[in-house]
Amino acid sequence: MKKDLKGMVFNIQLHSTEDGPGIRTSIFMKGCSMHCPWCHNPESIKQVPQLIWYEQRCIGSAECLKACPKQALKLTPEGLAINRTLCNACGDCVAACPAGALEVIGQMYTVDDLVAKALQDRVFYEKSGGGVTLSGGEPSMQADFCAALMKKLKAEGIHIALDTCGGMSWTKLGRLVDLADLVLYDLKLMDSSNHQKLTGIPLELVLENSRRIAQAGKPIWVRTPIIPGINNTEENIRQTALFIKQNLPTAERYDLLAFNKTCTSKYERLGHDWRFEKEDLIRQATMEKLAETAREEGLTNVHWSGLTKE
């Protein structure tokens, strides 16, 4: 392993209970092969650092403007404007801000950095049957780094889950699958044309990669985010469940994840509009019906989770 090997991470979530069994440390790698318009982590898509501004913390000192070497910042009546063509997320403005209103999303870590952080919670993994989850973004976008990290964690006896969208070549993804104890796998929608249009990745690649994971004997937890107007139909869930039943014998469970809007502020901080900002939460009865639809196709371990409305 190269000693100078580093990976770009945008978040490390301790004591996570939603990314695999037990209590886990979830490491979110920056960069994704898909560009889903409903993405809950829009800061994960680009594999470069990005500057964000917290409006509620800003005191308007303008120290950030003085510190910016690119003159990429401007105070306006609406708040701080970031010229993202000029900004290179150098972090000078972050250091200068007296109120902590600026942050660079995306930090470089060595393998040893992350292993040391993960091992701090070893006792929780052991008591709960947990471990470390590599998520993103898409971890296989940084395959060399993630493979090195997984090898070191395995040497420490840590359970490793790989959370992947499946939208990468098997050359890269397969390396990480081989090292994982569990694969969390997204099947978003089963319409080939819409999948390509909305995510930028062919559905056939995602389905073929899932088959390869099953053929490798790896346990799989399949997950579908339920998005209003995109894939929240019984037909989509029925087709997904049929595919799982017929092609993924190692699938241990199927999770339906209800759409939520907690990411709205993330889009605002990145200077992006979000097309789902005005969408309603999904009804509880709809989630229950979709879960029942999957069970009708022969899946026994089906769960749904997330905020809903009555």
pLDDT, tens digit only, all 310 positions of the chain: 566 799 999 999 999 999 999 999 999 999 999 999 999 999 999 999 999 999 999 999 999 999 999 999 999 999 999 999 999 999 999 999 999 999 999 999 999 999 999 999 999 999 999 999 999 999 999 999 999 999 999 999 999 999 999 999 999 999 999 999 999 999 999 999 999 999 999 999 999 999 999 999 999 999 999 999 999 999 999 999 999 999 999 999 999 999 999 999 999 999 899 999 999 999 999 999 999 999 999 999 999 999 999 8
Nearest to 60 by CA among 16, 98, 93, 113: 98
The residue with tokens 């639809």 is 293
23 vs 38: CA distance, rounded Å? 27
Nearest to 296 by CA among 251, 220, 244: 244
Q: Residue 80 — left, alpha, or beta (φ > 0 → left; ψ -120 to 50 → alpha)?
A: beta
Write down all domains in the chain, each with its CATH number in brackets. Answer: 6-46+107-305 (3.20.20.70), 50-105 (3.30.70.20)
Contact present, 192 and 239 (Cβ < 8 Å): no
6 vs 183: CA distance, rounded Å? 23
User: What is the DSSP-derived secondary structure letter of residue 172?
Assistant: H
184 vs 204: CA distance, rounded Å? 18
pTM greater than the 0.85 cutoff: yes
User: At what angle are helices 192-199 and 203-215 packed, to 10 degrees?
Assistant: 100
- Written as six digits, the tokens of 226 are 């339920």
- Written as six digits, the tokens of 305 are 């989770």
Alpha-carbon separation of residue 214 from 47, 173, 186, 252, 298 (angstroms): 29, 13, 14, 11, 18
Contact present, 26 and 133 (Cβ < 8 Å): yes
Contact present, 7 and 159 (Cβ < 8 Å): no
